[in-house]
Each structure stands twice: as C-alpha cells, then as structure tokens.
Amino acid sequence: MSQQEETLQEEGISQEEEILQEELPVDWPENIEYLRRPKISPAVSPLALKILNTPTVATASFTRFSAENLAFPNPDVRIVPLNDPEHPANGQFGLAAKKHFYPGNFILPYLGLMHTNNPKDTDPDSEYDISLDRDLDLAQDAAKSGNEARFINDYRGIADRPNAEFRDIWVQTGERKWERWIGIFVVTTGTTGMRKNGIRPGEEILVSYGKGFWKDKKEEWVAPPKKYDNSKEGQQKVGKVRIRK
C-alpha cells in the first residue's frame, strides 16, 4: 500500500471518493457539496420514494436518460462570477453556455437535497428550493449541495423572457433502476418562433422561478431596467456574459 493510500485510509476516504472530490467545476464554492445524483433526506419515506420512482400514465412520457451519459462536471456549461452592478445577482454567480444549445435541447439536471415539506425538514432561508412532486409533498433544495444548475438565475431584470425551463425527467442509475429527477431544457421556439436561436455560447442560462419567488423578495430588491436592448438601436445580446479561459 502506498503512502497516499495509507493517508486516505486513515482519513476514511476511498481512492474513488478522492478522485471525485478533485473533479469539481471551475469556480465551485468550497462550502457547497457537489452532487452527481440527488441526495435524499432521512425524512423521505421509502414508500414516497417508491411512488415517486414508479412511472404512471401521467409521468411515463417524461424524457429518459442513462446516468452513464450525464457528465459531471458538465463540459457544456460554465459557472461565471458576475461583476456587473446592473445585474440582479451582481457579486454572485451565474451559469453560461459553452456550446450552442438549440430549442428543446437538454442542458443538465438540477440536483440537490430531496426533502419533505415538513417545516422540520425544510430550510426556510433557502433560495434554491423547488417543488419536485406536490402530491407527495416533496421538494429539492440545492442551497447546501447540488450541481452547476444551482447557479442558474431567474430571468427577471436580465432578459425579456427565460431561455430555459424546468422539466421532469427519468434517469436510469447504475443499479438499473429508474429515478425521477428534475432537468433543465432550452425553451422551445414557440408559436411565434421568437426563441429560434436557443442559447448561444457565452449566453447566460435563465429560467423563471415563478412570481412567488420574487414576491417574497419584494422588499429586498427591485428589478432594475433591463440592461440589454433588443431594439434596432441596441446591439448588445441579451444575457451575454464573459467566460474566462
């Protein structure tokens, strides 16, 4: 056994875990756990998990993926520090595309802690908590653990409309079992065809977190006028951010 293996053994860390710890996205915060599959709160019952992960008539049509084909870290997106006083998340982070995503394309899953909506199992201060299944009273929170998707910002104050959206997906894990996850997709072109360009390299990925998310923050922050002008007079691209090499 090598000295490195002995050190890892003494610290209770396997070689596989050590390798995974090193494979983190650029600019990933040290205090956030990086996930490659959803983390599950002990408060989530086995029965709730079984029901969640059993396809029904309503859920069988969700897009399906193999976990083997999901890359962690994701090479097609980049966490970007935001240093623009006019950006609603100035001083924080956003997520930008590194390749051209076309309308309807899958971008990446949204991972976090799956938990119940029991007050004892919920972080009241989290800004990363989204509903997973209302009937089962389950949600997923990326405040303390997640993947790159946790850095996706709401479109309000940045663009006229979101360029991405949440959708439910099925993921087949290494155990050959299907699990219901949350995915981020590029919005479709729509009936007007206004969103036909998708998301180009360097553009910030933006979703809608819903009006309720901003209602709770009304007293904290008022959206500034949109910086990016899509009129004939304006030449800046909506949501364009600088990606460091």
**Tens-place pLDDT, residues 126-183:** 999 999 999 999 999 999 999 999 999 999 999 999 999 999 999 999 878 999 999 9
34-215, CATH topology level: Beta-clip-like (2.170.270)
pLDDT at res. 80: 97
In 3D, which of 159, 125, 153 has the Cα closest to residue 238? 159
And the tokens for 135?
A: 């009937």
Rounded distance, CA 228 to CA 230, Å? 7
pLDDT at res. 175: 77
Rounded distance, CA 142 to CA 49, Å? 19
Residue 237 pLDDT grade (very low, low, confident, very high; cuts 50, 70, 90) = very low
